[in-house]
Structure 1
Amino acid sequence: MFSENLKAMRKAKGYTQEELAIKLNVTRQTISKWEKGLSVPDVDFLFKIADVLETNVGTLLGGAIMDEVNKDTVAEQLAKISEQLAIKNRRSKRIWKIVGIVLLTILALNLLLAIFGMSAYTSFSTDGKTTVIEMNEDSVSYEE
């Protein structure tokens, strides 16, 4: 909600991420993280963003905040956004962890197969000698 509103309001004002970052004295990457929903600013900074974008904090957060001066209400709403972001990040980390474990398991199995494949190949290889078995009707003889 905040991330989408920030991006829309920034574009409506005609600011690039770099220009907004300069006005707020932050890096462009910080603006990018806010717009992607990877992080959120603190309450005091939220008021600064609202001033630069000439809007109120309630509109920026996308909720109905009656008293903009009431920082407790803003802090509560920002805490909810942060909690949702934390849940999203935990899910993402869990998924990447599972993917990593699966890939490591596949790699380990491939290495084991390669090792056993080489050992099986070397145990069945010959030392260059050929054994010929001649069979006669009466007897069997071996020649090397």
Structure 2
Amino acid sequence: MFSENLKAYRKAKGLTQEELAVRLHVVRQTVSKWEKGLSVPDADLLVRLAEVLEVSVSQLLGAGVPPEAPADQVAEQLARINEQLAIKNRRAKRIWQCVAGVLIGLVVLTLVLVLLNAVAFGAYDTEVQSQTQTMSLVPNLTEREGSL
């Protein structure tokens, strides 16, 4: 909710992420993270943000905080939003870890199969060579017996 509100109020003021970041003394990527819902500003920065956008803190946070809410309620609201973001980020991290694990498993399985194939081919090649040598020796023995 905060991320959508921030983006809407910023655009309504005609500010770019860069311009807003300069006014708040943060980098543009910070504003981008707020708008994507990847992080939230601390309480002091939230107040400055509301001042720059000329809206109340409760408007930025959504309808959950009354306009005359004490600072501790705003801090609680931010803490809840932060916790929700942390849970979301942990889930995303677990998903990526699972995907990476599956991919690594597939690579290891492929390498094992290639190695087994190479060993089997080597054994087959050795057997074929020994049979070929044996067969080439047999005619030589027959020729020698005939000449004796």
Q: TM-score range by the shorter chain?
A: 0.7 to 0.9
Q: 68-77 or 98-107: which moved more?
A: 68-77
1:127 aligned counterpart, secondary structure: helix
Q: TM-score, normalised by structure 2?
A: 0.85
* TM-fit CA distance, 1:132: 4.2
Q: CA deviation at 1:34?
A: 0.5
Q: Which structure's CA Rg is the greater one?
A: 2
What is the aligned-residue RMSD (CA, Å)?
A: 2.0
AA in 1 matched with 2:113: L
Alpha-carbon distance in structure 1 between the residues aligned to 2:28 and 2:76: 26
The alignment partner of 1:99 has SS state of: helix
Identity of aligned residues (%): 55
1:56, 1:68 within 8 Å by CA — same for their partners in 2?
no
4+ runs of 1 displaced by more than 6 Å? Answer: none
CA–CA distance in structure 2, aligned partners of residues 121 and 38 of structure 1: 53
| Structure 2 unpaired stretches of 5+ | 141-148
Partner of 1:58: 58
Kept after mapping to 2: 8 A contact 1:47/1:57: yes
What stretches of structure 1 of length at least 5 have no aligned partner?
Answer: 134-141
**Residue 8 of structure 2 is aligned to residue 19 of structure 1:** no
Comparing both structures, which one devotes a greater share of its residues to helix? 2
> Structure 1 residue 86: deviation in Å?
0.8
Shift of 1:131: 5.0
Cross-structure match for 1:3: 3
TM-score by length of 1: 0.87
Instruction: Give 1:127's aligned residue.
Output: 129
CA contact (8 A) 1:57 1:68 kept: no
How many residue pairs end up in the alignment?
137
Deviations, residues 1-56 of structure 1 (Å, cap 9, x unaligned): 11111011101111010010011110000000110111111011100000000000
Residue 29 of structure 1 corresponds to 29
